[in-house]
Chain A
Amino acid sequence: MSLVNFTTREITCKIVYYGPGRSGKTTNLQYIYGRVPDDRRGRMVSLATQTDRTLFFDFLPIELGSISGFATRFQLYTVPGQVYYNATRKLVLQGADGVVFVADSQVRQLDENVESLQNLQANLLEQGIDVRTIPVVLQYNKQDLPSDLILAPEELDDQLNFRMVPALGASAVSGKGVFETLRAISERVLRRLSEEQPA
C-alpha cells in the first residue's frame, strides 16, 4: 500500500515489473536509470546471478516530483522471471501498488507469457489482492524484432489482455515505450490515491 506522509507531504508507491524470464524487466529499469537525472534517482540495486539473471530483484527509486503538493516517489522493482524463483517473486510482490507486466512479444514465448500472467494472478490472490482491483499495465516488449518472429500488439491483446487494461508496444533495449509504460502505471496508481479509500 502506498505510504502517505501528511506531515512532510510525501507519497511513496511501489511498482513491480513482472513477467517471464528474459522478457525485458531489468532492461526497462536500466533504461529509466540511464535517462533520469542523477538528482531524481537513487542507486539501482541489482541482486543478480553471475550471468546477470535477476536472482532476487532489481530496485530503482525515482522521484517523480510534486503531485498535488505531495513530493511523490516511486520504488520500481523487478522480479526474477524464471519459473523456479516463485518464492522470491511472491516476496517482492508484497505491498505492491501497481504492476507492469512485461510480456515477450516473440511467438515462441507466448506460453511463457500466459503462464507468468497466471502466476501473477495466483500470487496476488495469495496475498488477498484481486488482480481486477490493483493497477496493472501490460507492455509488449521486443516489438523491434522481425515481424515474422513476433506477435502484433492486437494478437497479444487477444491472448493476454482479457481485462482490457492499458497495453503498450515497446522495445525496452532502445527505450521505445519505456517512458509511456511508466506514465501509464503512474497515472493508474495515482488515480487510485485520488479516488478511493485504500483498504
Chain B
Amino acid sequence: MKARVVEPWLLEPVERFVRESGCRLTLIMTPAGQVLAQYGFTRAVEVMSAAALGAGIAASTGEIVRMLAEPAFQALNHQGASHGIFLGHFDSPRGPLLALVVYGADTSVGLVQLFFEDLVTDLAAAAPPAPPRGPVLAADFERDLNQSLATLFR
C-alpha cells in the first residue's frame, strides 16, 4: 500500500518512516485535524475521523500543558494489548503539525519514537515554501453543488 499525500514532498519522508518504524497506520495532519498525508487507512472518511480525534487529544493536552506553564508537549503514547498509539507534535516549515501513528507488536514505541525524530528532520528538509493560493473553484460551482447535494439527501 502506498501513502496518500496532499503534496508530493510529503511522500518520501512518510513512506520511509512507515518502512523503518514498522507501523501500521500513519497520519500527518494540521492541529485543526486536516489530513496532509496518510498511510494504511482504506477509506478517506475513516481517516478524517481518526484525524479529528487525534487533533482533539493534541489540543486538549496542549491546553492542560499551557495551564501548567509547561513547555509544549512533544509526544504521547498509549500502549494497548495489541496496538500502540503514538501522537507526536512538531514544528515544520509549513507550521505546527501532528503525527498519529498506530503500531503493532511487531515493533515498539522506542522504534516509532526514534524514526519519528527522523521523520521530523526529513519533512523539514523536504518542505518547499508554501505556494500562493489563488481561486480554487470555478465561478459557476453552484450547479455542481446543487447536483451533489441532491444525491446526498435522498
Contacts and interface: CB of A to CB of B under 8 A. Distances in A.
Q: Do A and B form a real pair? A: yes
Contact of B135 (A37, A43, A95, A194): A194
B56 A95 contact: no
Contact of A68 (B5, B45, B48, B138): B138
Interface residues of B, number: 44
A68 B153 CA distance: 20
A64 B88 CA distance: 31
A26 to B, nearest CB: 15
Q: Counting chain A CB atoms within 10 Å of each CB, which of B8, B43, B52 scores highest?
A: B52
A82 interface: no
Interface residues of A, number: 55
Interface string A23-48: 00000000000011100111101010
A95 B148 contact: no
A14 B34 contact: yes
A36 B149 contact: no
A61 B52 CA distance: 10
B127 to A, nearest CB: 16
A73 B141 contact: no
Contacts of A88: 60
Given A3-B34, A59-B49, A94 B59 contact: yes
B147 A65 contact: yes
A57 interface: yes
B8 A42 contact: no
30 contacts: A1-B34, A3-B35, A3-B36, A5-B7, A12-B34, A35-B153, A40-B151, A42-B43, A42-B49, A56-B60, A61-B44, A61-B45, A61-B49, A65-B147, A65-B151, A67-B141, A67-B144, A68-B140, A68-B144, A72-B148, A75-B33, A91-B56, A91-B60, A94-B31, A95-B34, A96-B32, A179-B149, A182-B149, A195-B139, A197-B134
Given A40-B152, A67-B141, A75-B52, 16 more contacts: A37-B154, A40-B151, A42-B49, A56-B60, A59-B48, A59-B52, A59-B53, A63-B44, A64-B145, A65-B152, A70-B136, A73-B45, A91-B63, A182-B149, A194-B135, A194-B139
Interface of A: 1, 3-5, 7-8, 10-12, 14, 35-37, 40-43, 45, 47, 56-57, 59, 61-68, 70, 72-73, 75, 77, 87-88, 91-92, 94-96, 179, 182-183, 186-187, 190-191, 193-198
Interface of B: 4-8, 30-36, 43-46, 48-49, 52-53, 56, 59-60, 63, 132-142, 144-145, 147-149, 151-154
